[in-house]
Structure 1
Amino acid sequence: MEDLKGILSTAYFAPIQYYCKLIQFPETLIEQWEHYPKQSYRNRCNIYGANGVIALSVPVVKATNKKVLLRDVKISYDTNWQKLHWKGIEAAYKSSPFYEFYIDDLAQFFHQKWNSLLEFNLAIQDEICSLIELDSNYKLTNDFIEINIQNSNDFRYSIHPKTSKTEEDTFFIPREYTQVFSEKLGFEGNLSILDLIFNLGPDSSSYLQSCISKL
């Protein structure tokens, strides 16, 4: 029953489209055996600040060879990126309706250290799902799943921060909601799940359901 399974990469405070996939399928597989690709949501998220969209990236330890498995990628703490991300999120969302409601639960991800990027991302994902009471049933892949362009449920490489690498998703319809800076700068769709929960709070789960097309 592979047609009932979605396939995703791991992601750092994943975009809204990603969380829609977690609930769209009865079961989701998260790829851990791929070769780690750079400049993707695996170590990056987009938030919405006073001057527009801001990309936050988690630095990783450089591999000794060109190809390293995602499951073996280590987080680098050579710079204090956690403090920078924390301050950036605070500046972007401190005035949002639900910032104070959730921020204490998320503080651990900016004050504690994780060795593995995969474990870090999964801990974030589990916490987000718990906070907004989102049911998600996922498993890590046992082996690398070969790319099949005919598999419309494979989103490992199509949910991407670069527009040139994204693919049309007819089952995802982003809907407008009130954002901190949307009155000034306009609405920005499919940002990090952080943007959604800080602005919509407990209504985040129902919003995600509303973005899933029934076509």
Structure 2
Amino acid sequence: MSIIIHPTYFPNIAHLVAIVNANEIKFEVDDNFLKQTYRNRTYIYGANGKLALNIPVIHSQKNRQKYRDVKVFNEEKWQSLHWKSLLSAYRTSPFFEYYEDELLPLFTKKVDYILDFNLKCLDVICDCLQLELNMSKTQTYQKHIEDKTDYRYLVNAKKEQYQNFDTYTQVFNDKHGFIPNLSILDLLFNEGPNALNYLESQIISPLL
């Protein structure tokens, strides 16, 4: 299957299920950047439940700004904050220490463009999953794609469509129960090497 999908900040389970089960991935990088999407947001499982990690970005004075052109606002120490949040949420998980050294550089080296950073995050995740992708980027924006399954709708965090994914053990299960479709980091820290098998076994519901 050939798909088109957005690169997002530590993609959620739905994004990774689509990516893992595709033979060819085209990343959408030429559309307009919109607020309140997974382009600069991911969700993890904190002690108090679902926790959003947002990357602050510099919004252009113009009405429209291409995804590929959006810069990160580094005046806020968001990288340090996000890493502390991950430590707090997952330091007791079975596999956090196993992946910690691979992930830490993403939170210590300066970031310029959100798109480049998201692709770098995905590269690291693929290394952790031992996954090789056949991927390319869009050169122009097309509203309708006929030769690929269009998963671009998954980027919308506010109109997220329910996905019936299998449960797995999460750190704070006993407090808040299972929370589905969190960042791939949640699955990775809890399931470790079994994460890829989990992703390959899941199915995404079609767009309603």
With the shorter chain as reference, the TM-score category is: over 0.9
Return 5+ residue gaps in structure 2 as ranges: none
Q: Residues 131 and 158 of structure 1: is their aligned pair in 2 closer, same or farther, counting only changes over 3 Å? A: closer
Aligned residue runs from structure 1 range 54-203, under 5 A:
54-147=51-144, 153-162=149-158, 165-167=159-161, 173-203=164-194
* Distance across 2 between alignment mates of 1:167 and 1:202: 27
User: For 2:15, which of 18, 24, 28 is the aligned residue?
Assistant: 18
Q: How does 1:22-33 map to 2 (within 5 A)?
A: 22-33=19-30
Following TM superposition, by how much is the alpha carbon of 1:64 offset from its aligned partner in structure 2, in angstroms?
2.2
Match of 2:39 among 37, 42, 49: 42
Specify every segment of 5 or more residues in structure 1 that has no aligned partner in the other structure, as ranges: none
Q: CA deviation at 1:161?
A: 2.2
Secondary structure of the residue aligned to 1:212 is: coil
DSSP 3-state at the match of 2:150: coil
C-alpha deviation, 1:160, in angstroms: 2.9
Q: Tell me by how many angstroms 1:167 deviates.
A: 3.7
What amino acid maps onto 2:116 in structure 1? E
Note if contact 2:58-2:73 (Cα within 8 Å) is conserved in structure 1.
yes
* RMSD of aligned residue pairs (Cα, Å): 2.0
> Runs of at least 4 residues of structure 1 off by over 6 A?
none
Mapped contact 2:15–2:154 kept (Cα < 8 A): no
* Deviation of 1:69 (Å): 0.3
* Counterpart-to-counterpart distance in 1, 2:62 and 2:205: 44
Percent sequence identity is: 39
- SS of alignment partner, residue 72 of structure 2: coil
Q: 1:8 aligns with which of 1, 5, 8?
A: 5
